[in-house]
Amino acid sequence: MADDERAAKAARAKALLKKRQQKKAADSAITASSSGVVSPVSPPRTFSPAPSEPVEQEERDLNEVFSKDGSDAGWLTSLPRVASPPPLAPPSTANVHQLSRSPLASSPSPAAASTPPIQSPSPVSSSPSDARANSLGKKVEALTKENESLTATVSRLKELEAAAQQAEASLEAERRHVEELQENNRRLQEDTEIALENERRTVSILVSEKAHLTSELQTLEGFETKAQTLEDLLETERAKSHNLSEQSIRLQTEVKQLSQRAEQLAVKEKELLSQNKEQERQLQIITATATESRKEADEFQRKLRELEEQIQSDDRVERLELSLKNTQDRADELEFQLTKVKQAHASLKTERDGLDSKVQELVAKGSEWSSKASTLDAQVAALQEQLSTTEKERNELVSEKSRLEQTSQSTAGSVKGLEEKLALAATAVANNTRQLQTAQNDLKNAIRRAEDAERTQKSLQAEGTNLMRST
């Protein structure tokens, strides 16, 4: 389609150039024919010839020939160059007569129309021929300058065409490079997708393995927690058993001590009872003695009263008084001893009652400690049975823990292998990603160079169009 448009535009340009060449040839022919015409005889009254109007040339804009996008600069170099017109010869005398004849003979003035013309030769005026020659010389110079400017424009257009062809070649190379980069990018994307799919599969396998290992580890942690709890419970029960054993031993020791003390208290009680009996016997003796002393005192008082009557007459009064005084002193002493014996008896009785209560308390405590010791013995037996059960469970948990540790080690080895595979896959994905980024950067650079080449081509076409318009 572009070749047809270029061919049509080239045909139109050739037709325009051909018309201009024909027009220039016709103008030069008219000039040559007008130089050979004899001027008519001027009337007697000479008139100054009217200045000849220059022949208007049909001018067309060359921008109509070219397209606005500047894509038709290639066919301009194929056009033939227009040869410069030969320099015109100086006009002869006959030409001068013919030039002086052509405008005035065809249009006479009104005065000449009223009077019949007189056909007589007149002298030839040189001013119109000089003006015509000057105008022709100026036209020749203008055509020469136009030819030079067209030659420069054609050379500039050739340079622009070469630059445009070079830009098109670089653009085509960049396009091929872009296509190669796009193909490489597509292959890299496919490789990346395959690597990502493999990585996803590896990650899913690792996730499932991780979930399985997590469940196994949770089970192992549960077993370890249970084993630790059982060990703590076992240690607690052992401590309790040890404490109970120590407490049982201490209680047995205390029971023995209490038994010994009870025996000692029983012996002491017997001694106190014997002492009490002895004191009671002595008290009875003292009481009997006191009674007898009282009787004797009463007797002595009776005798004293009897003797008082006989005191003045009898010499034994003084001895009786002394004996009475001694008897009273002995009675007072016996009463004091009796009071002390009563107090000692009361204190011994109180002490016996306290010892009886203590003995009863010790007997009750002994029975209580005996029941506690039997209870502790039962608890110790139960704890020993529980300890054996706990040790059995602990041995089972230790074997299960060793089995799970072996499983965990094997699983850790498989996880390590999968992690190495994952690292290799991640490295491959990273390499593919870097290659993809490099390809994308190359693609961007190629697209940028292609855009620069297109802009350069457009600027060259615009410059060529501007040059064509300026010409």
340 is a domain residue: no
Residue-wise pLDDT for 266-276, tens only, equals 787 778 777 77
Residue-wise pLDDT for 227-237, tens only, equals 778 778 778 87
58 is a domain residue: no
| Reduced 3-state DSSP string for 55-85 | CCCCCCCHHHCCCCCCCCCCHHHHCCCCCCC
Mean pLDDT of 88-93: 42
Who wins on pLDDT, 66 or 274?
Answer: 274
**What type of residue is 259?**
S
Mean pLDDT of the chain: 71
> Tokens for 87?
């320099």
Count structural domains, the chain. 1
Model pLDDT, residue 316? 59
Model pLDDT, residue 285? 80
Question: 421: domain range?
Answer: 199-282+366-446
Residue-wise pLDDT for 401-457, tens only, equals 788 888 878 877 877 887 887 788 788 778 878 887 887 888 888 888 878 878 887
Mean pLDDT of 30-50: 45
221 is a domain residue: yes
218 is a domain residue: yes
Model pLDDT, residue 28? 64
Model pLDDT, residue 408? 77
DSSP code at position 63: G
313 is a domain residue: no
224 is a domain residue: yes
7 is a domain residue: no
DSSP string, 307-367: HHHTTTT-TTHHHHHHHHHHHHHHHHHHHHHHHHHHHHHHHHHHHHHHHHHHHHHHHHHHH
Model pLDDT, residue 52? 43
Backbone angles phi, psi at 30, to 5 degrees: -65, -40
Whether pTM > 0.85 for this model: the answer is no
427 is a domain residue: yes
